[in-house]
Amino acid sequence: MTYILGLKYKGFTSIISDSRISSPNCASNSGLKVGILFPGCIYGISGSSQSGRQFIQDARLVVGHTQDVQENWDRFMNHASKYSSPPSTPFKVLLSSRATGTPILYVFDSLSGLKQVVVDEGWFSIGSGGPILDPFIDKLASTLHKWIHQETLGALYPYVFCLRLGILSNVVDQTY
């Protein structure tokens, strides 16, 4: 089960994931599914982890090492538009790019390409854990929205989701 959560709040985005890796031979809470694609762009991978990691590695080679966020994003979009992956190993990548100044969420689907996700303030998820974890995250987001005006909560907003997702991942793992 994989769960990637994109949060957008007050002009900031966060991408959080569970750490569960499952395969026919083994399962563990040791997966690294999120990272920095390049300065100004973060990501989270769901689906075939091997194909997803290869896509990220290829994208990093194409983007290079420039500090120009817009140039990096343009190179990445060009790479994503030409990328082909075997249909037998599909994956999705949730991305947040600040190429335009304000962070924008996108999803790259290995089968259908890159699309922008419209989230003004709130959350968006990808991954097989969605049917199980989305209701919990939705309830948490609704509860936090009542207190969102408090400055302390604003600073802690992504961490609250991260903590709750970690707890839910372990509880769901033990009950299924």
Give the pLDDT of residue 50: 86
Instruction: Name the domain count of the chain.
Output: 1
Q: Which residue has the tokens 């083994």?
A: 26
The per-residue pLDDT string of the chain (176 residues; one tens digit each, 9 = 90 and over) reads: 788 989 888 778 888 887 656 665 655 555 568 889 999 999 999 988 889 999 999 999 999 778 899 999 999 999 999 998 888 999 999 999 999 888 999 999 999 999 999 887 788 999 988 898 889 888 888 777 666 655 555 566 666 776 766 666 555 444 43
In the three-class reduction of DSSP (H, G, I as helix; E, B as strand; rest coil), residue 123 is classed as: strand
The Cα 43–Cα 165 span in angstroms is 17
Q: What is the pLDDT of residue 152?
A: 56
Residue 173's pLDDT is what? Answer: 46
What CATH number corresponds to the domain at position 42? Answer: 3.60.20.10
8 Å CB contact between 42 and 96: yes
Strand runs labelled E in the chain: 4-9, 12-17, 21-22, 27-28, 34-38, 41-47, 91-97, 104-109, 113-117, 122-126
Supply the pLDDT for residue 174.
45
Its domain, for residue 59, covers 4-175
- Alpha-carbon distances, residue 99 vs 40, 74, 105 (angstroms): 7, 9, 11
* Residue 16 pLDDT: 86
